[in-house]
Structure 1
Amino acid sequence: MLQKIIKIIAFILAIGGALIALMIMGTDLEVLKTTSPLVDNMLYVSYIVLAIVLALVLVFVIKGLFTGNIKKTLLTVGAFLVIVLISYGISSGTNLDLQPFIAKGENVTPQISRYVGTGLYTFYVLAVLAILSMLFSSVKKIFNK
């Protein structure tokens, strides 16, 4: 039942988003620069979709915690937090990577720079781990046949 409701909501939001995207694409660029109600509407649809997705993720994560192996889940969350903390530790906080933003007059503090570096290092580590796990799984399948 919940799955049908989610599909219907996703379909309605997808149609609305597609219509607004088509309206934006069909509008002159100069008009979009001066008046942007279409862009605003597209952002509202994006915010609604993001809120729905976050709510559903939280519901299913909490549901999975109580029905699954909580020890394994907590170990996974702990490993993720360790990766984020290590990434924060190796992030320098220098503004070298953010020079284009500084040149535009953006206020980039060393702390913001460090958060950006943390996010990048975390992404790199998680991407490498995902690739290694796929390779490991493939090799394991080959040798088990």
Structure 2
Amino acid sequence: MGLHKILRILVAILSVLGVIFLVRIIGEGDEAIKAAAAAGDSAIVDPMAYVAYIVLGIILVFVVFFVLKNLVTHTASLKGTLIGVGLFAAILIVSYAVSGGDPMEYKYNNKLATETESHMAGAGLIAFYILIITAAASMLLSGVKKMIK
């Protein structure tokens, strides 16, 4: 049996399970689900979440597999990919180096956030700002180049 048939059967099974669990959730109603959640019972929603986790896991496996396969088979694009990954890593390193520990105390999950958690959050924000500015600048430059030609 080919991979295509196996995947079709897996998709069919997950689809049927998803529909069954969705009908069960809709059948219970919002108030029953909210009351159960307030009591700490999530048995109504859990099976649907597990189906979603399985689908996400399958997608991640296939994405990683085909990306690595493409990198190995098309070595011409490997250089550009490695440059992109290196630049992204450099942005993360610079962001971590630039962000400092925050002397303020923040609550996180009813606990005080540690200095490391604060440092990582700051680094993530700085990396986001760098990446968004880079994306905006590249779109702007692309638009200007098209207008000039």
1:77 lines up with 2:85 in the alignment:
yes
| Secondary structure at the counterpart of residue 60 of structure 1 | helix
Contact 1:95 1:108 in 2 (8 A): no
Of residues 125, 128, 136, the one that matches 1:123 is 128
Percentage identity across paired residues of the two chains: 35
Give RMSD over aligned pairs.
3.4
Taking structure 1 as the reference length, the TM-score comes to: 0.73
Look at both structures and tell me which one has the larger radius of gyration over its CA atoms.
Answer: 2
Deviations 1:26-66, CA, capped at 9 Å, x for gaps: 33222222211133234323322332232122122212312
Structure 2 residue runs of 5 or longer lacking an equivalent are: none
Cα distance between partner residues in 2 of 1:23 and 1:49: 21
Structure 1 residue runs of 5 or longer lacking an equivalent are: none
Please list, as runs of the form range in 1=range in 2, the aligned pairs for 1:1-145 lying within 5 A after superposition: 5=7, 9=11, 12=14, 16=18, 19=22, 23=26, 26-28=29-31, 29-34=34-39, 35-66=41-72, 67=74, 68-94=76-102, 96=104, 99-101=106-108, 105-144=110-149
Cα distance between partner residues in 2 of 1:129 and 1:74: 18
Number of residue equivalences: 138
More helix by share: 1
Which amino acid in the other structure matches residue 120 of structure 1?
Answer: L
Distance 1:124 1:70, change over 3 A: same
